[in-house]
Amino acid sequence: MINANKVNLIINNNNLTVNSIIKSTQQDCLPTSWFNIIRVKDSGDLSDKYQDICQNHYSDNKWILMINPEHNSLDQLSIMGKISPEKILKVNANKVNVSLDHIKNTLLKGTCSAMILSNAHYNEAELKEISRCAAQGKTQCIFLQTTTTQTLKKLH
């Protein structure tokens, strides 16, 4: 009988550089706890995500900032009494300049408990910078990305 808990391993520490491993782990792990990308399938799924986010990040002292939200889903949740609209700020990027610098500055200020960006498109370097700012400002940053059937077909 083989005991899986007592596997004989030969450990070779000669080739490990502990400092580089610790530094990269700290840099990679910290921002991801403040930054999240959530895939959304349809309007029902979007309503569920909005409700979860609002309930998880509601704070008496801070706002939940939504950039380009889907208004019908939010209005429906508000009417049903599932979310409280008093602490939600909605910004439409077509009417207000929402640049990357504005997003980073808002995250760094920490005046919001969460910032939700719907269908925003940034490159990897910009996403890392947004993630860093979210961690530094202790503001949860959530990207909601609508998944279309064409995107799903490409993934399979």
Determine which helix (DSSP H) or strand (DSSP E) holds 133, and give its type and residue range: helix 124-137
Q: What is the CATH number of the domain that holds 94?
A: 3.40.50.300
HSE-up (13 A, CA, CB side) for residue 117: 25
Token representation of residue 25: 């782990």
Q: Tell me how many domains the chain contains.
A: 1
Residue 137's pLDDT is 95
Residue 10's pLDDT is 42
In a domain, 6, yes or no: no
In a domain, 107, yes or no: yes
Distance between CA atoms of residues 139 and 57, nearest Å = 10
Residue 138's pLDDT is 94
pLDDT tens for 68-126 read: 888 888 888 888 888 888 888 999 888 888 899 999 999 999 999 999 999 888 999 99
Residue 21's pLDDT is 35
In a domain, 106, yes or no: yes
41 compared with 25, residue with greater pLDDT: 41
155 compared with 51, residue with greater pLDDT: 51
67 φ, ψ to 5°? -105, 120
Give 3-state DSSP helix, strand, coil % of the chain, rounded to 5.
Answer: 45, 20, 35
In a domain, 47, yes or no: no
Domain that holds residue 147: 55-155
C-alpha distances (whole Å) from 38 to each of 71, 102, 147 are 18, 22, 10
Residue 148's pLDDT is 67
Distance between CA atoms of residues 125 and 132, nearest Å = 11
**pLDDT over 50 at 54, yes or no:** yes
Distance between CA atoms of residues 78 and 84, nearest Å = 6
Average pLDDT taken over every residue of the chain:
77
> What does pTM read for this prediction?
0.70
63 φ, ψ to 5°? -95, 160
In a domain, 25, yes or no: no
